[in-house]
Amino acid sequence: MTSRPVLVVQHQDDCPPAWFGTWIEAAGVVLDLRRPYRGDVLPADLAGHAGLLVLGGSMNATDEQATPWLGPTKELVRAAVAGGVPVLGICLGHQIVADALGGGVAVNPAGTQRGLLAVDWSEAAAADPVFAARPARVAHWNDDVVLAPPPAATVLATAPGGEVQALRFADRAWGIQSHPEVDEVVLATWAEEDGVDVADFLAAFAAERDALLAAWRPVATAFARLCVSRPS
């Protein structure tokens, strides 16, 4: 295993690294999981870390007053991009990275995205170091989206409605709007908390579970390998 862990920023209890954490660890990378909402302190820099994984959450990516650790997280994102440290943001994390690098995040004008949706990959994704596997389907659960990617970003995928689905922000920085990390337990928890009926969503997810896991594991593994191969 690499001697340096990947720093994981988790924003709430019901948004864990889940399958992505399992896959990254299986690829030989230790996770340094920080929960700042519980009082965990984020490091001042990433000198002791091989990568940065920023997870999802129900909060707004731009409201640093309500969620005070967003500012320090964005500083780490900018430091990672400047220093060539691999970064991956998932859902809220994707929005945090976009905002940190000068993009625009807002409520999706088309409304909430919730369900198992298709992924429309761009030609650029075929040669991308992380998303080259180009999985066909993924779970969505979000209200906000990246409406304006940062100037240097490359769009790798869009959702069925045309919303930005995956971005390469820089040579070693990525984000994905959806939730490739979740399982049925996480989805059911969100449904209970939000008071919504997602029986059809859960049934579709269960029916495709093995295919989803097989399709998305290479993405997590590719990210982990970039972290492992980063020079000390």
Catalytic residue among 49, 94, 181, 227: 181
Query: What pLDDT digit, counting tens, does each position of 78-124 carry?
Result: 999 999 999 999 999 999 999 999 999 999 999 999 999 999 999 99
Third-level CATH fold of 6-229 = Rossmann fold (3.40.50)
220, 19 in Cβ contact below 8 A? yes
Whether residue 171 contacts residue 128, with contact meaning beta carbons closer than 8 Å, is answered with no
- pLDDT of residue 231 exceeding 80, the answer is no
Q: What is the pLDDT of residue 232?
A: 61
DSSP structural state of residue 45: S
Q: Which residue in 15, 91, 140, 227 is the catalytic one?
A: 91
pLDDT of res. 221: 98
pLDDT-based confidence at residue 2 (cuts at 50, 70, 90): low
pLDDT at position 1 over 70: no
0.95 exceeded by the pTM? yes
Q: Would you say residue 158 has pLDDT above 50?
A: yes
Partner residues linked to 173 by β-bridges: 87, 170
Active site residue 94: no
Share of the chain above pLDDT 90, in %: 97
Task: Report which DSSP code applies to 38.
Answer: G
Question: Which residue ranges make up each domain of the chain?
Answer: 6-229
Mean of pLDDT values over 30-40: 98
Q: Which of 15, 49, 179, 227 is catalytic?
A: 179
Active site residue 179: yes
Q: Report the pLDDT value the prediction gives residue 92, as an integer from 0 to 100.
A: 98
Q: Is 75 known to be catalytic?
A: no
Instruction: Say which DSSP state 42 is in.
Output: P
Task: Write out pLDDT tens, residues 167-196.
Answer: 999 999 999 999 999 999 999 999 999 999
Report the C-alpha gap between 215 and 197 in whole angstroms: 26
